Structure 1
Amino acid sequence: MRIDIWSDIACPWCYVGKRRLESALAAFPHRDEVEVVWHSFELMPDAPEQPVETAQEMLARKFGVGREQAAEMQQRVSALAAEEGMTWDHEHSVHVRTRAAHRLLHLALEEGGPAQQGALKEALLDTYFVQAGNVADPALLLRLATSVGLDAQRVGEVLGSQEYDDAVAADVAQAARYGATGVPFYVIDEKYGVSGAQPAELFGQVLDKAWADSHPLVETFGGGADVCGPDGCAI
């Protein structure tokens, strides 16, 4: 079974949703046969490459509210993150573009497969929300990418170019074809779409249904008396 997930790094609901899906997968009997692939989605492609304000200041400016109201908005989702076992420093997160980080996620998928890509995705989310790190900083991105096993020279080549820009754009276009206007957005086995950071219970229900659809049981008739088996034949 394959789960495709569209998300952004600077997206609080994407991190909460990641934890809730992980909880559902932990209880899923066939979790070892599930492959998770991450796809790019930039919520704010016009964000600056260098930080000039915090995410909190950006929220206040975008919605025309005061800093206290913006802080309350952040605190509400931080409280939900705490319920999933995370302690965020979202108050100090900076507002930056995430394009370079997305390009590295494509590199990780190509070089090391879904497992390495998933490790980098977690490192990026943790850096942004827990450590309030600047995920547009090339030096920090290089350190994170190499910490999950990517080659430093190859990472430098990607960061110093526009490589994988087309892959990022293709992901965004695919999300639009699916009708996704926000993230997180999940597609399970190319059949079921789930929008938003849904409860683990809902993810579990969709996982069960998708597995049953792709592994149907054979309906059996008769009592099975007139058969032969390892112990002989019923006569």
Structure 2
Amino acid sequence: MSAPWTEWDHIVKLDPDKTLVDGESYADVCKTGTDAIEIGGTTGMTEEKMTEVIEPCAAAGREHDVPVYIEPSHPGTVVHADGLSGYLVPTVFNAGDIAWLTGVHKEWARMDAEIDWDRTHTEAYIVLNPDSSVAEYTQANCDLDADEVAAYATVAERMFGQRIVYLEYSGTFGDPDVVTAASDALDDATLFYGGGIGDYDAAREMGGRADTVIVGDLVHDEGCDAVRETVRGAKEAGQEPVEPDR
């Protein structure tokens, strides 16, 4: 049985430290057509903030048949709630601080006796925006060329058995050639791409190179109509343009 994310073209990532656009709800996010929702953030995360988003979002996900996952940045952000589909746990392969490879994960395993291992999966992050909070937080080495990124992707899949490789440009539109190099390096792992997806064209561009595009800031800054356009772009990636009727 294939993993659910192998069928995803688009994910919305919700940051509990930010709000939705006025008048919009988690049900509205679910109705954008996105394939899944991740909940998590790099800084400012607390169990209370996570719970305030997870519970209503999971309820909306159940109602609209959209899977909802936690992406925990550290053990204190893990919430066990009804309706969650599972946990997508980052492990940063180019981190300078090795805590983000296994250290915080060890602490979660040590502190939490309720981990549902059947629904807990890892994402092999390669962080590529040196100005981002996640790069600073993990002390990531972002000075990588396409060959080095492809090598990290290969190591993640071949040596560490990772089923998701995640290129994280975090708010900045990435280098398409780097994304293509990572994609070409993978055989079976699913390639996630996140960073700077703000419209149809950006989603279609990266959706044609990665398996799945991830939208984060857009849902908080511009709202669900803008997200809906990125869903359309991701799902139409790789398709031939349709000639207009005459």
TM > 0.5 between the two? Answer: no
Q: TM-score, normalised by structure 2?
A: 0.28
* Structure with bigger gyration radius: 1
In terms of fraction of residues, the more helix-rich structure is 1
Q: TM-score, normalised by structure 1?
A: 0.29
In terms of fraction of residues, the more strand-rich structure is 2
**Higher-RCO chain (CA-CA 8 Å, sequence separation at least 6):** 1
